[in-house]
Amino acid sequence: MKLKEIAIGYIEIPLVTPFKTALRTVNSVNDLIVKVTAEDGIEGYGEAPPTAVITGDTKESIEAAIRYYIAPSITGMDLDDLPSIMAKMEKCLAKNTTAKAAVDIALYDLYAKLQKKPLFRLLGEKDPSAVKTELETDITISVNDTDEMVRDSVKTVGEGFRILKVKVGKGGEKDVERIREIRKAVGKDVVIRVDANQGWTREEAVSTITAMEDAGLGIELVEQPVSYHDFKGMQYVTAHVQTPILADESVFSYEDGVRVMEEHGADLVNIKLMKTGGIHEAVKICDAADRFGIKCMIGCMLESKVSVSAGVHLAAARSCVTMADLDGPSLCKVDPYEGGPVYQGPKILLSEDYGIGITKVPVKFERI
Ligand code: MG
């Protein structure tokens, strides 16, 4: 069965509240959607969120990468040989992980449909007994003034979420105060993950995290305390605090992941399909995590249900994935799609529908 054509279109979905981190503020999801079609008419869908401050990929660069490089390279290839398609896509242009991820996800969706399997069953064939059918996601609390963050946290816990991912990284001492007040307001049973999004220096990270430890704030982990290219800084922080450190922006590729695992650049790894360039490379990081005995989170950028659901399928398939940060659809005001995993507050329920499961994507597609 050959890959007959690739089409692209755009979707815009407003957010419930603006998404604010140490790096950016965003008001709506504005993503490119990819549709791949097999010779027999079966379709697969993928999604690309332009996250320039993290991946370097913009709306224009993603579209150009797919239109001028990826589509001409892989259209007409044999869908039964997915590894060859992935190798060709990897070679046709360097980096551009978001564009590659969107096409990779669409191809996996299509491939699983052709195999008549849900994607998570297909990805979980290495160890079917470890496959999960339900996940619990955390939800992001944006970085704001402490009062607003406390209000957001209390509201979110009231909606049933039990794991908060709190964005900090805008001032060490203020960050301790933010977490102290949130902990006071939500009580001790709520899990708090802290994400600094590269916002601290290594010394600031150690003193801030140590202050949180000394205050008994019960932080589960701290994500990406220092700049993504400061590998030694990540090692330093990991070695000097008790709280587990999770590498996010430091790990894009399989090679990045292996380096962190081998050289103890962090205790945990956050895999995001938009950083790895899709499922193909993410699976390799999961294999490495199994070898090293490292636990992983599957995270997402600010994305809607198509690509987040691809992350859901991978998270459900692999035992090394013990944490889900797949709150994109929960942050969107509406769900414009039909089918796919069901997002019920913090719970995500997988179905036995083939592929990713999404059946309707209300986008005007242009064949390229
Ligand atoms: Mg992060």
Of 119, 95, 104, give the one whose Cα is nearest residue 74: 104
Ligand 1 mean position, distance from CA 172 (Å): 17
Alpha carbons within 13 angstroms on the beta-carbon side of residue 287 total 12
CB 348 within 8 Å of CB 324 = yes
Which token pair is 262? 């081998």
Candidate list 20, 35, 113, 167, residue with the active-site label: 167
Residue 299 CA from chain centroid, whole number = 3
- Output the pLDDT for position 15: 94
d(CA 348, CA 357) in angstroms, rounded, equals 13
Q: pLDDT means per 10 residues in the chain (368 residues)?
A: 98 91 86 98 98 94 98 98 97 97 98 98 96 97 94 97 94 89 98 96 97 98 97 98 98 97 98 98 98 98 96 98 94 95 96 97 97
Identity of the amino acid at 325:
D
CA of 148 to the centre of ligand 1 (A): 20
Active site residue 88: no
pLDDT at 254: 97
Distance 197 CA to ligand 1 centre (A): 6
Q: Exactly one of 272, 275, 347, 360 is catalytic; which is it?
A: 272
- Quote the ligand 1 centre to 140 CA distance (angstroms): 10
Q: Bridge partners of 34?
A: 8, 46
CA 248–ligand 1 middle distance (angstroms): 5
Give the per-residue pLDDT at 170.
81
Q: How far is the CA of 256 from the centre of ligand 1 (A)?
A: 16
**Max Cα-Cα span within the chain:** 62
Q: How many angstroms separate the alpha carbon of residue 249 from the centre of ligand 1?
A: 7
Say how many Å lie between the CA of residue 131 and the centre of ligand 1: 25
Question: In this predicted structure, what is the pLDDT of residue 112?
Answer: 98
In this prediction the pTM is 0.96
Instruction: Tell me what pLDDT residue 22 has.
Output: 73
Q: Is 272 a catalytic residue?
A: yes
Q: Which pLDDT value is given to residue 171?
A: 74
Write down the pLDDT at residue 305.
97
To which residue do tokens 């030694």 refer? 232
Which pLDDT score, from 0 to 100, does residue 220 have? 98
303 Cα: distance to centroid of ligand 1 (angstroms)? 14
Output the pLDDT for position 17.
87
How buried is residue 127: exposed, middle or buried, by Cβ count under 10 Å (0-12/13-18/19+)?
Answer: exposed
In the sheet that 296-299 helps form, which strands lie side by side, from edge to edge?
A: 139-141, 163-167, 191-195, 219-223, 245-247, 268-272, 296-299, 321-325
**Alpha helices for the chain (secondary structure H):** 52-55, 59-64, 71-74, 82-92, 97-114, 119-123, 146-158, 172-186, 202-214, 231-240, 254-263, 273-276, 279-292, 305-317, 328-331
